[in-house]
Each structure stands twice: as C-alpha cells, then as structure tokens.
Amino acid sequence: MELTTVWFILIAVLWAGYFLLEGFDFGVGILLPVIGRDERERRVLINTIGPVWDGNEVWLLVAGGATFAAFPEWYATLFSGFYLPLLIILVALILRGVAFEYRGKVDSVTWRRRWDACIIGGSLVPALLWGVAFGNIVRGVKLDADHEYVGGFFDLLNPYALLGGLTTLTLFTLHGAVFLALKTDGRVRRHAGDLAVRLGVAAVVVAAGFLVWTQASYGDAGGLVLSGAAALALVAAVVAAHRRREGWAFIGTAATIVLATAALFVTLFPNVLPSTLADANSLTTTNAASTPYTLRIMTWVAVVFTPIVLGYQAWTYWVFRKRLTVEHIPVPSTVDAST
C-alpha cells in the first residue's frame, strides 16, 4: 500500500476519532439549557466533560497538522476556500473553551448565564458547520486548473451540504444525550434518557436521508456497506436507549459516527477534494501529497507517538468513569431564580 493511501486512511481515522469524542462534548453543550434545570444540574452536565473536552480537541489539531504535512495542497485549498466557515468554527471553539474556564469565576447568575450562552453557541455552531464542510468535500467544489477555489461563500450552502450539517447536528446532540444518561444519575439521567429516545427518531430520519443521497449521487459499493452498517448501528442505539441500556446505546451512537465518517472517506477516495468544474481539476491523494521522504518521516513519528497518546487518553477516561449526581455539587451561594 502506498504511503499516500496510508496517510489518507490515518487522516480519516483522526477525523472519526474527533467526531466520536468531541461529538458528545458538542451534544452536552447543546443540551445544557434543556437538561440543566438549575445551576447544580448545569454543573453536573459540564463536569461530565470537564476532564476530557480539551483532550478531545487534540484530535482536531492532529488531523489538521497531519493534513498540512501529508497533503499540503489539500490543506491550502481547503483552508483558503473554506476560510469563513472554518474561521467561524474556530471562534466558536475559542469562546466555548473560555466559557468552560470562566463561568465559575464570578458568583453571579447573570455572569454564568452569559458564559452558558457561549457554551451552547460554541457547541451548536461547530456541530452544524463540520457537517456542512464535509458535505462540500464529498460533493466537490469549484476548483480551477490551479487547484484554487473559485466559488463563493454561498456556493458552500447548497442543499446537500446543509443536510450534512443537520445530520451532524442531530447525531452529535443524540450522542451527547446518551453520554449524559451514561455518566449521570437521578433526574439528569432520566431526563437525558427520555430525550435520547426522541432525538434518536429525528437522527434516524435525517441521517438516513443524507446517507441515501450520498450513495445515490456519489457512492460506491464500499461506501454503501459502511452506510448500511452505520444505519443499523443508529437504529440499535435508539432501541438500546429506549430500553435504558445506556452503555449499549453509547456504543451504538459511537459506531454510527465512526462508520458514517468512514463511509464519507471511502466515497471520497482517491480524491481528497473533487472539482465540480472538471475532473482534471480535482485534488487526489497523488497530486496533493507531500514527497515520499516526508511521508516516511511522518509514518515513523506516528508509529512512536500514537500509542502514547491513545494510552494517556484511555487512562483519563478510566480515571473519570464514575457517574455524577447533583449531590456531588455544592449549593451555590447565589441561587438561580428558577429554584
């Protein structure tokens, strides 16, 4: 297998890992005002992801760095053509990270609610726009013979890409609800479990529409198999959530996200960014790749450090595996008006 193909697969794995782990972070943030009835319950929600959310974002940094090093032409075209939506995602992620750190710095209901709004928006916007971005990557964009994007911002807001954004938004929100049901107890657990069942129905409808459209317009046999497996995993997750089997439900939503991401990359290969103007203008794993020497060095670095990163992150999740309840949260001195 050529190193260009190896690194295409590795980048697909990195994105799948990012969506799997950051997906439930986004879901928890989106559901903050829905499940968090008062300050103590909102603290429970935030504490479920508090020890891991910043580690989950490392997957995004590594995916971006790997793309820059392995496929610099892909990176340059993608980040120049998608500049505005990627900038919006970056600003949202920054506000979200700052909000996690600052919401508890002042004992004020107004202060906390303003930062909570940043957490909600900083979770919802990336959950939507990542789907829009990947929808456009699979569909293709207007690339000229120099592999430069010649379309406009509104060209990216086509129906297929918007459906992709709605799909990631619903899947990540469902993933977050299932994660909360798995990581909490008491009223928060019950509310999250009930909400997961309702969200599951919406996710099945939206995701099925997106996967069918993808396979009908751009798919192949490999993508069809993976899409079918993702659909089955999603249905299984909803059934498990209905039966209050939170662990199996989380495995189901996790498998759905990983398989759906894999289906998109399989559908894309050997292109990395198709051109809608002419096939000859498309970026592929061959014409967008770095030199063989660079890829060999990167491969050795990945072989050495990837197990270390995976081991550390697995250890973090193991340490913070306990369920959380409001009994673990002290009563705030400034009480919410809703209590």
Q: Domain coordinates of the chain in residue numbers?
A: 3-328
Say yes or no to pLDDT of 334 above 70: no
* HSE (side-chain half, CA atoms, 13 Å) at 194: 7
Answer whether 295's CB lies under 8 Å from 289's CB: yes
Q: Is the pLDDT of residue 289 over 60?
A: yes
Is the pLDDT at 21 greater than 90, yes or no?
yes
| Topology of domain 3-328, CATH | Formate dehydrogenase/DMSO reductase fold (1.20.1630)
- The model's pTM is 0.92
What confidence tens digit (pLDDT) does each residue in 145-173 have? 988 999 888 899 999 999 999 999 999 99
Q: What percent of the chain has pLDDT over 90?
A: 71
Q: How far apart are CA 234 and CA 200, in angstroms?
A: 8
Residue 336 has pLDDT above 70, yes or no: no
Q: Is the pLDDT of residue 1 over 80?
A: no
For residue 69, which of 301, 311, 270 has the smallest C-alpha distance? 301
How many secondary structure helices (H) and strands (E) does the chain include? 13, 2
